[in-house]
Chain A
Amino acid sequence: MFDIEKIRAEFPILSQQIHGRPLAYLDNAATTQKPQSVIDAVRRYYEEDNANVHRGVHALSERATAAYEGARKTVGGFFNTRSVREVVFTRGTTEAINLVASSWGRANIKAGDEILITHMEHHSNIVPWQMLCEQTGAILKVVPINQAGELLMDEFDALLTERTKLVGVVHMSNALGTVNPVADIVRRAHAAGAKVLIDGAQAAAHLPVDVQALDCDFYVTSAHKMYGPTGIGVLIGRESLLREMPPYQGGGDMIRMVTFEKTEYNDLPYKFEAGTPHIAGAIGFGKALEFIRGIGFDAIEKREKELLAYATAKAADFDGLTPIGTAEDKACVLSFVLKGIHPHDLGTILDREGVAIRAGHHCAMPVMQFYKVPATARASFSVYNSEAEVDALFAALTRAQEIFG
C-alpha cells in the first residue's frame, strides 16, 4: 500500500512554508529532495567514520573504505552490473560523459567517424561530443524528433551507418519527459557496430534500469536526481571497454606503482577514480538507492503515472496553456508555455504562491529551438508529490493570468 504521507514525512524539507504558503516542490527534474536516511548517513559518516579510503590501516580508514565500497556494491546491485569493477564513481552525469568522451573517445575516434546523438539531449550529452569531434575531426550527427517530442526512428536507422562509432542517447528527456526506446536503440546500434552511451540522469529515479538486460556499453547518472547528495554520480561501463580505456585523470588512488620513468595504473574501477573521492556522497548515494528500493519501482511508476495523468488532464483544460512534449511514453515532466506570460514571470509568480518550478531552457537549447520558444515552464514530479501540490500549481497559474489580465 502506497502511503504518501509516510513518504513525505521522510523528507524534512517538504514541511516548510515559502512566502507564507506550503511549499509545493515541483522542480524534481533539476534535483530531488533528500530523505532523512540519506541526510543521516552523510552526517553519521562525518561524525563517526571520516577518514581517507583505500590507504589507512587504522580503524576509521577501514570503516570509511568499507562504507565507500559498500556503496559501490549497492550501486552495482541497483543497476545489475556484472561486477563492481564496472561501477566508476564520478562527480555526476556530466563528468561521466566527459570521461567517456575523453578517454574512450580519444582512443577510439578518428577523423571521418561519426557520433550520433539526438535532438533532445541535455547540453551535457552534446558538448563533450562536439569537443571530441573538434579534436579528432569526427562528425556529430543528430536524430530529429517529431512535434510530440519523440525520436524519429526511421531517421535514426538512416543516420546509423558503419561510420557511426557511438550513439549517445538520453533515457528520459529532462525538458520533455519523453522516455526513449533505449533497448531497441542499443540493439540497432550494436547491429551497426556502434557503442551506446545512455544518459540516465533523468530516468534512473523513475524507471528500473538493468544494464545487462539493456546491454548498453555505458550508462551514466547522478545521485542528486535520485534522492542522493549532489557531487556524486556514476559511470557504469562494460568491463571489456573500461579495461582498454586509458585513464581520464592522473593522480593518487588510480595507480599501482609510480616511478619517474613509468607508472602502472590501478585495476578497475580505481583506474578512473584519481584523487580522494566524495566518500560521504557515495555513502549517501547508496542510502538513496536503498530508499528507492524500499518503495519499489512498481509503486513508484504507478504513483508517478497517476500524478502525471492528473496534471496532464488539468493542463488540457487550462486556458492558454500549450504543453511542450506530449510523447506517448513519457514520465514525470509537464513542460509548457502560457499565452502572453513569459516562463520567467511565471517562475516568479508561482514562487510567491509557494510553488517551485523551473523556467528556462533546461540546458536543452536545441529543444527550445525546435519548438521555437525562448523557454518553457516545467513542473516535474517525484514520488513524494501530491495531487494537492498539482492543484496549487494550477491555482498559481490562474493567479498569474489575473496579474497579467
Chain B
Amino acid sequence: MFDLRDLYQQVIVDHNKRPRNFGKLTEFNHDADGYNPLCGDKLHIYLQVSDAGVIENVSFEGEGCAISVASASLMTDALKGKTMQQCEEMFGQFQHMATSDLAEAPDEEVLGKLTVLAGVREFPSRIKCATLCWHTLHAALKDSAEPAKTE
C-alpha cells in the first residue's frame, strides 16, 4: 500500500519547516503572484535574471501547506544558475512527473532533488499544491500582471 511517508518524505518535511530562499529579494527584475483559489495558498516569487537570461537569484514568500511550501523551497534551490530555457524544461518535466503514471520513473537528470515530490501523483487533490510555484515562476518569467492560478 502507498505510504504517507512517500508523500511526506523527510526532505519535504524539512523544507516545510525551514524553507530555503524565503523572503523578498533586495534586487529583482521579475516577480509574480500565485494563488490557489480552492485552498487559499498564496505565493509570491522574485527573480533576478541576468542580461544573458540566467537566473542569478530567486526567492519566494507566502503561505500554504507543506507540499506547496516545500515545492517552492526546492524549486528556488534548483533554479539558481539555470537559463530561462532550462527552467521551462524543468517546468515541463515537473508537471509531467506530477501527473504521470506511478509506474513511470521521473527524469532525475533534469529534476534532481525535485523528484522527492513525485509522491503527489498518488494524491490527485494535492497535485496543484506542488505545481503552484511553477505556474507562478512561469508568470514571473513572462512578467504577467495577472496572478498565476492552478485552475
Contact = CB atoms under 8 A, between A and B. Distances in A.
A404 B64 CA distance: 15
B8 A345 contact: yes
Contacts of A374: 40-42, 63-64
Given A345-B67, A403-B13, A405-B13, A361 B7 contact: no
A375 B4 contact: no
B48 to A, nearest CB: 28
A341 interface: yes
A19 B123 CA distance: 12
A344 B1 contact: no
How big is chain B's contact interface, by range? Answer: 20 to 34
Interface in B40-55: 40-42
A360 interface: yes
B65 interface: yes
Contact of B8 (A19, A343, A404): A404
Contacts of A341: 66
A374 B65 CA distance: 10
B103 interface: no
Contacts of A365: 40
A375 B40 contact: yes
B20 interface: no
Contacts of B125: 348
How big is chain A's contact interface, by range? Answer: 20 to 34
Contacts of B126: 344, 348
A352 B8 contact: no
Given A348-B123, A375-B39, A404-B13, A342 B65 contact: yes
Interface in B118-150: 123, 125-126, 129
Contacts of A343: 65
B1 A345 contact: no
A123 to B, nearest CB: 12
A294 interface: no
A405 B12 CA distance: 12
Contacts of A348: 4, 7, 123, 125-126
B61 to A, nearest CB: 14
Interface in A313-342: 340-342
Nearest to B63: A374
B5 A344 contact: no
A360 B39 CA distance: 6
Contact of A360 (B1, B40, B64): B40
A352 to B, nearest CB: 5
Contacts of B40: 360-361, 365, 368, 374-375
A247 to B, nearest CB: 33
Nearest to A20: B1
Nearest to A399: B4
Contacts of B4: 348-349, 352, 399, 403
Contacts of A344: 39, 64-65, 67, 126, 129
Contacts of B39: 344, 359-360, 375
Contacts of B63: 374
A338 to B, nearest CB: 12
10 contacts: A342-B65, A348-B126, A365-B40, A374-B40, A374-B64, A375-B40, A399-B4, A404-B8, A404-B66, A405-B13
Interface of B: 1, 4-5, 7-8, 13, 16-17, 38-42, 63-67, 123, 125-126, 129
Given A341-B66, A374-B63, 10 more contacts: A343-B65, A344-B65, A344-B126, A348-B4, A348-B7, A348-B125, A374-B64, A403-B5, A404-B66, A405-B13
